[in-house]
Structure 1
Amino acid sequence: MSKFAGKISVHAITWGQEHIKAMEEAARLGFRAMEPWPSFALQYADRPDELKELLDRHGLIMSALYGGASGESGRRFSDPASRQSIIDYNVRLAKVAAACGAGHLVFGPGGPRNAAATLDELKTAAETISEAAKRTLELGVKACVHPHLWTELQDENELDAIMEMCDPETVFFAPDTAHLTGAGMDAAEMIRRYKERVAYVHLKDLMPEDARKEDFPMLLGNEALPVFCELGLGPINFQPIIQALMEIGYTGWMTVEIDQSTSTPYRSLEICRDFVEQQLGIPIQGVSVSQ
C-alpha cells in the first residue's frame, strides 16, 4: 500500500498571540514546519530574513501564510471597493512568505456571512481573487482558495463557481477538512474534483454536534457555530481524505490546525500529533520538509 507522500506542518493559531512559545512548543513536539500568524509575519515585512532566522533557530520552516480577504474587519472579495486593499495585503504577505521560502498563501474569504453569495458577488470575488493571485504568483507564491464557514465563501456551489471563473493556472485550492465537512461537503470528493489544483491542505476536526459550546463567540442567528477540536475527537473520518490525497499524488503540505485548545496548546497539538502518527500512520518528520 502506498504511503502519504506529503509534508506535515502545524498552525500557530492554537497559541494565540504567544508566537515565540508556539515555535518553541511546536519544535518540542517534533514539528519541523509551521504556518505562523500573518499579523506576526507582517511585523517582519521590512526584515523577513530575521523571521526566517527566528524559525531556523527553532528548527522550523514556514509552510504558508493565511491571507485572502482576511486581516481586516468587513473586507470581502465580493466588495469591489476592497479589491486594491486585498491585492496590496496579499502582495505584502507573499513577499514575506517568499523571503522565508514558503510558496503558498491560503486565501481566506471575508466575513461574517450574511447570506448566500449572489452570482454578481461571486463574479466580483473571482475577479479580485484572480488579480491578487496573479500578483502573488509573480513572486513565486500560489494563492489557494480556502472555503470557510460563516464567510462569503462557504458552500459547495460557491466554491464551484469561484473555481470555474478563475484560471486553474493561477488560482489553486486549499481544502480544509473541517470547514468543508461543516458546510456539508465531502472533503475527499472535493479533493478529487479539484485534484489538479489542490496545493495546500488544512487538517482539522469538528467537535461532535452534541458537544459544541453554546457560548462560542461567533454566532449565526441564535445557533452556536461548530467548534473545532483535536484530531480524532470529532466525527470526521480522515482515512478517506488521506486516501484521496494519495490517489491524486499530493506531495505538498498538510497543516495540522486547531483554533482553540480544550486544555493547553501543547497538549492539544500533542493529541493531534499522536493521531497523525498513530492513527493515520504519517510520521510528522517522515518526509523531507525542504521547500
Structure 2
Amino acid sequence: MRRLRLGSCPDSWGVWYADDPRQTPWPRFLDELVTAGYHWLELGPYGYLPTDPARLADELAARGLRCAAGTVGGVGGPHKDFPAVLAETRRVAGLTRAAGGRDVVFVPVPGYRDDATGGYREAAELSTDQWRDLLANTTTLGRMLAEEYGMSLRFHPHADYQVEYQSQVERLLDGTDPRFVSLCLDTGHLAYRRADVLGLIRQYPDRVGYVHLKQMDPALAARAAAEDWAFGQAVRLGVSVAPPSGAPEVPAVLKALEDLDAELFVVVEQDMYPVDFDVPLPIATRTRRYLEETGDFG
C-alpha cells in the first residue's frame, strides 16, 4: 500500500508572506499547481489564499485540489509572545480543518536574523529559560490542536531560528510530549545546517509526521556559513535548488520515509523569494515528474 502523498505549496511559487506584490497572485498559483500535476497543497501564509472557509473550499474544489495542511508563521517561536502564537494557531487550525486538512505546520519565523538586511534581531542561542518555555509551549500547542481540533502539530526546524541544528532538533523532540508534537522534516533546512537527515529519520521514526522535501546547494550553504549570510540572502543567491541537483539525496530520503510504513504528506518546497512569475511552473512540473519516477507515491 502506498503511504506517501505528494503535494506542493505556495513557497515553491516564491510566496513567503500573506501579501506582497512581488509574489505570484494566488489564483495563478492555484491554476499553475494543477498544471504542474499536483493534487495536494499546503495552504501557506495565512491570508495569502482566501480565508473565508466557503470561498477557499470552492476555489480548491473547482481545481480538484485537496488540503494537506495549514501553515502557522510570522509570529516567531513559541518561546516568545505565546498568547499571540496560540491565537494565530487557532486561526490557522480553523481554516485548515474547514478545508479538510489534518496537519498544522508551525514555522517559527521571523527568527533571529533579518532576511533582507542580514542583521541579527536577537541571540542565535536560546537561554535555559527560553528553552523551558519553548518546550512547554510547543507541547501546549500540540495538545490544544489535538483536543480542540482533532489535528496534529508538525514543528518545522528553520534556518536562522534557534531550532536549526541537529542537536537542537533532538533537544526539541526529547523535551516535548510525543503524543502532541512531531516533526515537519524539512530536508533542505536540515541539510543547510549539515544535519544527518537520514539519521534523524532512523532515530525518531515515530516523530516524523510530515515532510517538506527540499534540496540545498552544498557549496553555497557552506559559503553562507563561512560568510555569515542570513538565510534570505542565501536564498536570493540560489542556495535552494530543484531535485536532484542538491543535498540531501532524494532517493535515499524517500526510501527511508517509505520504510517508516506511515501515512505521510511529502510537500515539495523550493525557496525562491523573490522570483519572476514565469519561473516556478516549469520547475514545479519537472520536480513532480522526477519525484514520481523516483518514489512510490499514492
Query: TM class, shorter-chain normalised?
Result: 0.7 to 0.9
Give the letter aligned to residue 139 of structure 1.
Y
Equivalent in 237, 259, 279 of residue 271 of structure 2: 259
Q: Are 2:296 and 1:275 aligned?
A: no
1:116 CA displacement: 2.3
- Give the match for residue 31 of structure 1: 38
Equivalent residues of 1:122, 1:158 under 8 A apart: no
Q: Is 1:146 matched with 2:134? A: no
Say whether residues 1:65 and 2:74 are aligned partners.
no
CA displacement at 1:281 relative to structure 2: 3.8
Instruction: Give the superposed CA RMSD.
Output: 2.5
Q: For 1:102-113, list aligned pairs within 5 A.
A: 102-110=101-109, 111-113=111-113
SS at match of 1:200: strand
1:157 aligned to which of 148, 158, 167: 167
1:87 and 1:266 map into 2 onto residues whose CA distance is: 35
* AA at the equivalent of 2:45: P
1:11 aligns with 2:13: no
Instruction: Tell me what 2:177 maps to.
Output: 167
Are 1:133 and 2:148 an aligned pair? no
Q: Report if the CA contact (8 A) 2:190-2:196 is conserved.
A: yes
Q: Please state how far the C-alpha of 1:210 moved relative to its aligned partner.
A: 4.7
Once residues 79 and 131 of structure 2 are traced to their aligned partners in structure 1, the CA distance between those partners, rounded to angstroms, is: 6
Give secondary structure in 2 for the equivalent of 1:254.
strand
Q: Is the 8 A contact 2:44 2:71 kept in 1?
A: yes
Q: Secondary structure at the match of 2:159?
A: coil
**2:89 aligned partner:** 90
How far apart, CA to CA, are the structure 1 residues paired with 2:279 and 2:172? 37
Aligned AA (1:203): L
* CA deviation after TM superposition for structure 1 residue 4, in Å: 5.4
**TM-score, normalised on structure 1?**
0.84
Q: CA deviation at 1:95?
A: 0.7
Q: Is the 8 A contact 1:11 1:256 kept in 2?
A: yes
Q: Tell which deviates more after alignment, 128-137 or 261-270.
A: 261-270
Summarize deviations over 1:126-156 as a string: whole Å, max 9, x none.
Answer: 1111112221122021111111111121112
- Name the CA distance, whole Å, in 2 between partners of 1:235 and 1:162: 23
Closer, same or farther in 2 for the Cα pair 1:242/1:4, shift >3 Å? farther
Tell me which residue corresponds to 1:54: 59
Q: Does structure 2 retain, via aligned residues, the 8 Å contact 1:180–1:186?
A: yes
Distance 1:155 1:170, change over 3 A: same
Contact 2:97 2:149 in 1 (8 A): yes
Structure 2 SS opposite 1:31: coil
TM-score (norm 2): 0.82
Task: Give the C-alpha shift of residue 257 in structure 1.
Answer: 0.9
Mapped contact 1:4–1:242 kept (Cα < 8 A):
no
Q: 1: distance between equivalents of 2:5 and 2:234?
A: 34
Provide closer, same or farther for how the CA distance between residues 211 and 160 of structure 1 changes in structure 2, counting only shifts above 3 A: closer
Aligned match for 1:194, one of 196, 204, 210: 204
Are 2:234 and 1:227 aligned? no
* Counterpart code for 1:234: G
Deviation at 1:182, TM superposition (A): 1.3
Give structure 2 stretches of 5+ with no counterpart.
Answer: 16-22, 114-122
* Paired AA for residue 280 in structure 2: P
State the partner residue of 1:40.
Answer: 47
Q: Which moved more, 1:262-271 or 1:49-58?
A: 262-271
Identical aligned residues as a percent = 23
Matched, 1:237 2:254: no
Question: What is the one-letter code of the residue matched to 1:268?
Answer: I
The alpha carbon displacement at 1:92 in A equals 0.7
Deviation of 1:14 (Å): 2.8
5+ residue gaps, structure 1, are: none
Q: Deviations over 1:245-280 (max 9, x none)?
A: 1121122200011121686110110121122023x1
Could you tell me how far apart the structure 1 residues matched to 2:49 and 2:37 are? 26
Task: Report if aligned partners of 2:220, 2:234 keep a CA contact under 8 Å in 1.
Answer: no
- CA distance in structure 2 between the aligned counterparts of 1:210 and 1:13, rounded to whole angstroms: 20
Paired residues in the alignment total 269
Residues 23-32 or 258-267, more deviating:
258-267
Deviations along 1:201-246, one digit per CA (max 9) or x if unpaired, are: 00001124159998xxx9349x857721112122321122112111
